[in-house]
Structure 1
Amino acid sequence: MSKKSTAPAGCPCGGPSLATCCGPYIDGTAIPPSAEALMRSRYTAYVQHNEPYLLATWHASTRPTEPIMSDDEKLQWLGLEVKSALRLRQRKADDADPDRDVVEFVARFKINGRAQRLHEVSNFVREPAAGGDPRWFYVDGSFPE
């Protein structure tokens, strides 16, 4: 006889639990303190099909005007691996801009049953939001070969 676990599931981004990881950012009770935290919460929002959060965390200069998700798409997110956060490498650099950061990650997913991977180097900027508090925004990304 199998025994079901009663422990809360981990956060989709790989953290210990949604409630202590990305959940507070997505529900608006906390602001992601770093570009990496924002990137992880955006991955979690993709898993949850939470398009409003994704659009709210997308920089206005590059935010799509068309829907970014489709109910018809058979997409299943499988996991996230953060390769690097640029600021960690530049921490001692004198000319590093504290309001810009880059995060490299690989997200695995299945679309229509076929395994895929998204390898992206994402650009983030921190600037005041509607409430005046500075917060991180996703700007754009590139896909290394």
Structure 2
Amino acid sequence: MTDAPHIPQRFARGLCPCGLGMPYDTCCGRFISGASSAPTAEALMRSRYSAYVLGDGAYVARTWADETRPTDLQVNPAGEPFTRLQVVSVSGGGPFDAEGTVEFAAHYPGGVMRERSRFERRAGSWVYVDGSVR
């Protein structure tokens, strides 16, 4: 069993960074630790967001499709911490779908990053394929 990543002070109450209002361990923590797989594209996107917030590059890499994963992956290249996640729309990506898209806004002190992410289910698990940043 792996140790949970350090949760920043702003999440000291133990709530998950993804914004669902659930405890980290029963929300994205179970996916990041490898205890279970994200059942939907949205759940994977939220857990990847949480991994970015927590600096867990290994999880981000593990859930990125091999053919599109950058070789020089950095989880926070700009140095700006994400402060809030807003899911804008979800298309497909359900428990029985093969693909899905999730559009989201990740807020940080200097602004907002908007992305439309594309996910595919491969060998029973969701992976991030690519996204267009707006």
Is TM > 0.5 for Structure 1 vs Structure 2?
yes
Q: Quick check: 2:101–2:119 contact (8 Å CA) kept in 1?
A: yes
Under a length normalisation based on structure 2, what TM-score does the superposition of the two structures give? 0.82
Aligned partner of 1:35 among 29, 32, 41 = 41
Look up the equivalent residue of 1:85 and give its one-letter code.
V
Aligned to 1:59: 65
Aligned to 1:12: 17
Aligned to 1:117: 112
CA distance in 1, matches of 2:117, 2:73: 20
Please provide the CA RMSD for this pair: 2.1
Task: Describe the SS at the equivalent of 1:80.
Answer: strand
Aligned to 2:9: none
Under a length normalisation based on structure 1, what TM-score does the superposition of the two structures give? 0.76
Look up the equivalent residue of 1:41 and give its one-letter code.
S
Q: Quick check: 2:61–2:73 contact (8 Å CA) kept in 1?
A: no
CA distance in 2, matches of 1:55, 1:20: 22
Q: Sequence identity, in percent?
A: 40
Task: Please say which structure displays the higher CA radius of gyration.
Answer: 1
Note closer, same or farther for the CA distance 1:142–1:74 as it changes in structure 2 (3 Å cut). Answer: closer
Aligned to 2:8: none
Give ranges in structure 1 of 5+ residues lacking alignment: 1-6, 92-96, 129-133
Task: Describe the SS at the equivalent of 1:41.
Answer: helix
Aligned partner of 1:74 among 79, 82, 93 = 79
Task: Describe the SS at the equivalent of 2:83.
Answer: strand
1:3-62 Cα deviation digits (max 9, x unpaired):
xxxx83311001211011100000000100000000000000000000000000000110
Aligned to 1:126: 121
Give ranges in structure 2 of 5+ residues lacking alignment: 1-11
